Amino acid sequence: MMNISIGELAKRSRVKIPTIRYYEQIGLLAAAARTEGNQRRYERADLDRLNFIRHARELGFEIDDIRELLAMTAEPQASCHQVDSIARNHLAEIDQRIKRLQALRSELKRMVSECGHGRICNCRIIEVLADHGQCETEH
C-alpha cells in the first residue's frame, strides 16, 4: 500500500503535476484522497492508472479513447474486440497522418530544390507559398 504525494506521483509516473490535476478534473484519474491538511494522497492503483494513461498518450491515443479503454479494463473477462477496434482506428489515423506528412515533405523538398538562392523577389519558395496552385500535391 502506497500513500504518496502528488509530487512523488509525478516523479514516479513522469507526468507533470498540472497534468495529473487535469486528469483528475476530467475524470480519467479518480479524485485523490486528502489528508487533514488537504494534501492529495495516492495509492499504487493511481500510479498504475496514470502510467497507463501516460503510455497511451505517448502512443497518440485521444483522451476519449483512453477513457473508453480504461472503462474496459474494469471487465477483464470481456472480449477485447472493442479494444482492437480502437487501436485499429488509431493506426488508420496514424497512417493518414504519415501520408500527409510525406506529401508535405515532398512538396517542401521540391520547393527547396527549385530555390536559386538569389534574392527574395525571385525566391521560388516564397512564390509557391504565395500561390497554392503551384504546389504539385494537395496537402
pLDDT 10s digits, 92-133? 999 999 999 998 898 888 888 877 777 766 677 777 777 777
Query: 1-61 maps to which CATH number?
Result: 1.10.1660.10
Rounded CA separation 107/110 (Å): 5
| Helix, strand counts (H, E) of the chain | 6, 2
- The answer to whether the beta carbons of residues 111 and 124 sit under 8 Å apart is yes
- The pLDDT tens digits for 8-59 are 999 999 999 999 999 999 999 999 888 888 889 999 999 999 999 999 999 9
Domain ranges of the chain: 1-61
Q: How far apart are CA 111 and CA 107, in angstroms?
A: 6
At residue 90 the predicted structure's pLDDT band, cuts being 50, 70 and 90, is: very high
Maximum Cα–Cα distance for the chain, whole Å?
70
Distance CA 104, CA 139 (A): 6
- Asked if 58 contacts 20 with a C-beta cutoff of 8 angstroms, the reply is no
